[in-house]
């Protein structure tokens, strides 16, 4: 369920770029939580989970959990709407959802930010590039990285007047779904391959080989055509003419 946090005005502060601003009251709350968790024995694991969840809520919203904020549509006061998105890593453990969400050089996620006007973060296990660094942060006990103990998920948030904020998140949810389909041969993957060919042709060809091994026949041919087009420098119109000739001769 989306979480609403009222903002003092519609302008997003510069310091919010990497996370919400935590006021003095919230900082005191965090300090009390930390002290409480240190006193807590291992006999109360559920209490520890609740404390970790409270930490994450504060670091996500910048405010103490449990306070209800109502949308003011009369004065169009900006609110923060946040939604977490399930990633099916357990159903498809071998698929690299993080890589597909990021895209070549992180460009796919960057475009999603710009198009949806939402902040989109990949969190949970497998959200960081370096597994050793992720494990180090997971074991550090730092509440800012408590999310690394959870399964992979996507966090979407935005700040805007109520209707606009919900519309942005709804649009982001629809777009994110395209990147959570466990298929290396769909339209999103092909577009990412085209982009990767321009940025790093060697990596693109290496990636294509893995796809061709998995789809050696008709499905993999889509990627094979992309490789031929990239190597030969053929545009779309010329490629269509060559494909028509191939179809004619194969009859």
Tens digit of each residue's pLDDT (9 = 90 or more) over 190-231: 888 888 888 777 666 665 555 545 544 444 455 555 554 554
Verify that 163 and 191 share a domain, yes or no. Answer: no
Residue 232 binned pLDDT confidence (cut-offs 50, 70, 90)? very low
CA angle 144, 147, 148 (to 5 degrees): 105
Most confident of 176-190, 217-231, 234-248: 176-190
Contact 3, 68 (CB under 8 A): no
* Mean of the per-residue pLDDT values of the chain: 75
Residue at a domain's end among 158, 179, 200: 179
Same domain, 84 and 125: yes
137 and 26 share a domain? yes
Position 222 scores a pLDDT of 53
Examine the pLDDT at 32 and tell me if it is beyond 50: yes
Identify the band that residue 47 occupies on the pLDDT scale cut at 50, 70 and 90.
confident
- Read off the CATH number of the domain in which 49 is found: 3.30.1370.10
64 with 164, same domain?
yes
Q: Are 84 and 157 in contact (CB under 8 A)?
A: no
Tokens of 76: 């169009």
Domain boundary pick from 125, 159, 179: 179
Burial class (CB in 10 A: 0-12, 13-18, 19+), 179: buried
In a domain, 2, yes or no: no
Number of structural domains (the chain) is 2
| 0.85 surpassed by pTM | no
Contact 174, 167 (CB under 8 A): no
Nearest to 157 by CA among 46, 19, 54, 8: 19
Assigned domain for 143 exists:
yes
Exposure of 85 in the CB half-sphere (CA atoms within 13 A): 22
- Per-residue pLDDT reduced to its tens digit, 66-107: 666 788 899 999 988 989 999 999 999 999 999 999 998 899
């Amino acid at each position: 369920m989306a979480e609403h946090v009222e903002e003092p005005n519609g302008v997003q502060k510069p310091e919010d770029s990497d996370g919400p601003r935590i006021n003095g009251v919230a900082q005191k709350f965090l300090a009390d939580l930390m002290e409480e968790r240190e006193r807590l024995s291992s006999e109360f694991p559920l209490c520890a989970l609740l404390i970790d969840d409270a930490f994450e809520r504060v670091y996500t919203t910048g405010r103490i959990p449990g306070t209800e904020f109502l949308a003011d549509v009369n004065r169009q006061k900006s609110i923060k709407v946040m939604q977490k998105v399930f990633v099916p890593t357990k159903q498809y453990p071998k698929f690299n959802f993080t890589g597909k969400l990021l895209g070549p050089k992180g460009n796919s996620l960057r475009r999603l930010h710009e198009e949806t006007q939402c902040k989109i973060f990949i969190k949970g296990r497998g959200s960081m590039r370096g597994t050793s660094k992720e494990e180090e942060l997971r074991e550090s006990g730092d509440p800012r990285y408590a999310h690394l103990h959870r399964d992979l998920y996507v966090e979407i948030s935005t700040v805007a007047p109520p209707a606009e904020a919900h519309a942005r998140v709804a649009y982001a949810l629809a777009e994110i779904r395209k990147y959570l389909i466990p298929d290396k041969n769909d339209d999103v993957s092909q577009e990412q391959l085209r982009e990767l060919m321009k940025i790093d042709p060697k990596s693109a060809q290496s990636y294509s080989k893995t796809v061709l091994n998995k789809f050696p026949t008709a499905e993999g041919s889509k990627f094979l055509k992309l490789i031929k087009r990239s190597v030969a420098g053929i545009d779309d119109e010329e490629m269509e003419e060559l494909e028509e000739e191939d179809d004619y001769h194969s009859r």
